Amino acid sequence: MNADYVIVGAGSAGCAMAYRLAEAGKRVIVIETGGSDAGPFIQMPGALSYPMNMGIYDWGFQSEPEPHLGGRRLATPRGKVVGGSSSINGMVYVRGHARDYDTWAEMGADGWRYADVLPYFKRMEHSHGGQGPDWRGANGPLHITRGPRSNPLFDAFIESGRQAGYPVTADYNGEQQEGFGPMEATIWKGRRWSAANAYLKPALKGGNVHIARGFARRVVMEGKRAVGVEVDTKAGRQIIRAGREVIIAASSINSPKLLMLSGIGDAAHLREHGIEVVADRPGVGANLQDHMEIYMQFAAAQPVTLYKYWNLFGKAWVGAQWLLTGGGLGASNQFEACAFIRSKAGVEYPDIQYHFLPIAVRYDGKAAAGGHGFQAHVGPMRSKSRGSVTLRSGCPEDAPVIRFNYMSTPEDWEDFRACIRLTREVFGQEAMQPFVKSEIQPGTLLQSDEELDGFLRDHVESAYHPCGTCRMGRASDPMAVVDNECRVIGVEGLRVADSSIFPQITNGNLNGPSIMTGEKAADHILGRTPLAALNSEPWINPNWQTSQR
């Protein structure tokens, strides 16, 4: 059991790296704890609420009691299956805003400006309906499509945004993110187009990539050099050796955990758990970030929502149609319209995201509203709250301690109140009037700051976008974990490449940026000159300093 490169984690970044390294003729072993992604629960886009609530596909992590949310523990789903979280997510595709990556570079991630990452987004994409060749890729492995928007609520939502004075954007992943418009998804020919389908399965066919089923316990170090990974497999405990490098791509929760179990992290914390210190990197597990959101729910005045399918017969009909034809409602994630807006004047680029859904239901599918309704998922993009991932013990089987420290700054509360009030204004526009019967949640009785804060404390949820726990930065930065080529600072032969290396969370859903990270990291691993920078200038609202829209 050895290869040139050993990748821990068959998730979004890991699959992309395996594909590119194999393409270059390298032998790769991918270690994955989870099982197969076959079957309709994962492959049918309309079934998205199921896999992230199934222990067979999800690690089942939870946060510690959150002090600013009344002690609530929040679910922290991470994919434990081939494809990782790209096999259990909502399939929404967002690159992030150009300014996100410029900020990364300012924070010490040299070579990761928007101009530097745009060529990698283009290389990975096969865009169907995007802006065109200056901005979007057309030949990559990752198919990106748009839903049919056949439900009248989708276009009514976009039009209501326009009526409220916001721009409309034809492609938020192109030149202009800001505005209301169609949402994009990693769906192709009616199937979830996960990183496993796009990258790993084609790579496996070539013969250079092999999957090792097992639980990674630690990186095996010889002095300061990583030489392999200790893995529990069905055949027992063994070491899978890497001739060149070990690459950790195990998620923003498991990647820092694995580094700490391997002796890389805050020295005092490691000694506390009886772990020999290989490299004192206090940034390992720090800088944890996430997006939060609330579900603004409205009762529908017309029976045009998906509620009519929210019963055993309706779900069976949708599932049967998909199994027989690959089409119908099951072929969409139902996130077909969206928006990115700014919360106030003086904010340079969008800091609020909307997902619109033509049914009022929780993300876990457990609590449908009683009757026809619809909702907008809305939340701020750039919270200043920071948390941590730390070890519960020195035992690899124990789940880590996850503390997000959600809503720990006054700005978080201010931003969420703005989300509620701006959303009410949008849904009050003429285009929505034929469809809005009443506001279910939060409910119009809640108006004051104190009333809204009470609602938020009980109802904000994670959007499941954890990142930042192995932050990329300059070697001179004591809190940086990896350098700008994803090499772990202070050791040799070891890299981390997944959402854990993000210095700051990006706008929107993180699957796209995670895959891009794998694509770019692959070139660094291979010692290639990075793709030439593309200096396409994104649209920024010219009146951003004085106007909210």
**Residues 6+ positions from 225 with CB-CB distance below 8 Å:** 491, 492, 493, 494
Task: Give me the phi and psi of 192, to 5 degrees please.
Answer: -60, 120
Alpha-helix runs per DSSP H in 428-510: 449-459
Distances (CA, A) of 1 to 6, 9, 17, 197: 10, 16, 19, 25
**Count, residues in the chain:** 549
Other CB atoms within 10 A of residue 67 CB: 13
Between CA 371 and CA 375, with CA 372 as vertex, the angle to 5 degrees is 115
Between CA 281 and CA 288, with CA 286 as vertex, the angle to 5 degrees is 150
Active site residue 291: no
List 210, 355, 465, 524, catalytic entry: 465
* CA dihedral sign, ordered 415, 420, 421, 425: positive
Q: How far apart are CA 110 and CA 462, in angstroms?
A: 30
Task: Give me the phi and psi of 447, to 5 degrees please.
Answer: -130, -40
Chain-centroid distance of CA 70 in Å reads 26
* Cβ(183)–Cβ(147) below 8 Å: yes
* Cβ(110)–Cβ(518) below 8 Å: no
* CA dihedral sign, ordered 46, 50, 52, 56: negative
Q: How far apart are CA 375 and CA 354, in angstroms?
A: 10
Task: Give me the phi and psi of 244, to 5 degrees please.
Answer: -115, -60
* Cβ(396)–Cβ(217) below 8 Å: yes
Distances (CA, A) of 41 to 60, 88, 264, 500: 17, 9, 37, 27
Q: How far apart are CA 413 and CA 420, in angstroms?
A: 11
**Residues 6+ positions from 511 with CB-CB distance below 8 Å:** 12, 85, 86, 89, 91, 92, 93, 186, 195
Q: How far apart are CA 10 and CA 33, in angstroms?
A: 9
- Single-letter code of the amino acid located at 534: L
Other CB atoms within 10 A of residue 105 CB: 18
Q: In 3-state terms, the chain is what percent helix, strand and coil (to 5)?
A: 30, 25, 45
The residue among 266, 136, 214, 194 whose CA lies nearest residue 12 is 194
**Catalytic residue list:** 465
